Structure 1
Amino acid sequence: MSGITTHVLDLMHGQPAENVTIELYFSESSPSNWQLLQKAVTNSDGRLDAPLLAAENTKMGNYEIVFHIGDYFRNKSIELPEPPFLDQVPVRFGLSSPASHYHVPLLVSPWGYQVYRGS
C-alpha cells in the first residue's frame, strides 16, 4: 500500500476518536504556499474510509495534516478552557518517496498529543 493514511486515538477515553475533522494540505517548496487537498472525517474506528491521499496522487513535497481536536472534545461534552489548550493540531512532514506508504497516527487528549510515522 502507498499514499497517506491516518487514524486518531482518544487517550482520555481509551478509544478511537470518531468524527474528527481532518484536513490535508500540500506545499511543493514554499511553506507559506499551502494548498488544501482533502477534507475528511474519522469513522467509528478513528480512521478514514479511504486514504487521505491515494497513491496515484502523492508527490514529493511538504504536507500538513490539521486535526480539529478542540471540536472533537467539545462534542464529547468535555469542559475546555477558552481558548482550549489544543484546538487544531497541525502535523507537518516531508514526503520524499511517493511510492511509499505514509501513515501518520495521532494519539491525543485535551492536554497533549503524540504523532509518529506508523506502518
Structure 2
Amino acid sequence: MSISLSSHVLDTTLGKPAAHMQLELTTYDGKTITGTTDVDGRCKEWQDFEFAAGEYCLRFYTKDYLLAHHKEAFYPFVDVHFELVKNGGHYHVPLLISPYGFSSYRGS
C-alpha cells in the first residue's frame, strides 16, 4: 500500500476555505517541497514526491493570508510535525485557523 498526503486549510472566523496559502513540506530525508492551497483550501500536489515512512513537517505560511482577510495575524506560520508509517495509506492533515488561534488533527 502506498503512502499519500493531502491537506485542507479552513478559516474558522470566516467559515470558508483558506485559498492560495503557501505551504512547505519538509520530508523525512530533509527535502523541501512547496505547495499552495487551491480555491477550496486544499493541497495534494507534492511535485511527484514518493512518500515513505518517517517524520515530516508541514509549514503553513499563515501571515499573508490572515493579514489579507483579517488585517491581523498573531502567527506568521504554523508548523505541524507528524509521522507517516509504512503501508499507512492516505494521510490528511487539516489546519483550522483564525487570527489568534489554530488547530490540527489527523483527518481522513
In 2: Cα distance, 1:103 partner to 1:75 partner: 26
Contact conserved, 2:3 with 2:52, CA < 8 A, in 1? no
TM-score between the two structures when normalised by the length of structure 2 = 0.87
- In structure 1, the residue matched to 2:38 is 43
Q: Pick from 79, 82, 87 the counterpart of residue 76 of structure 2.
A: 87
1:40-85 Cα offsets, whole Å, 9 max, x none, are 111111112x44476x701011100000111111122x222xxx42
* The structure with more radius of gyration: 1
Cα–Cα, structure 1 residues 2 and 60, in superposed 2: closer, same or farther, change >3 Å? closer
Unaligned runs of 5+ in 2: none
TM superposition shift of 1:99: 4.4
Cα–Cα, structure 1 residues 26 and 2, in superposed 2: closer, same or farther, change >3 Å? closer
TM-score between the two structures when normalised by the length of structure 1 = 0.80
Unaligned runs of 5+ in 1: 29-33
Taking every aligned residue pair, what percent have the same amino acid on both sides?
A: 35
Runs of 4+ in 1 over 6 A off after TM superposition: none
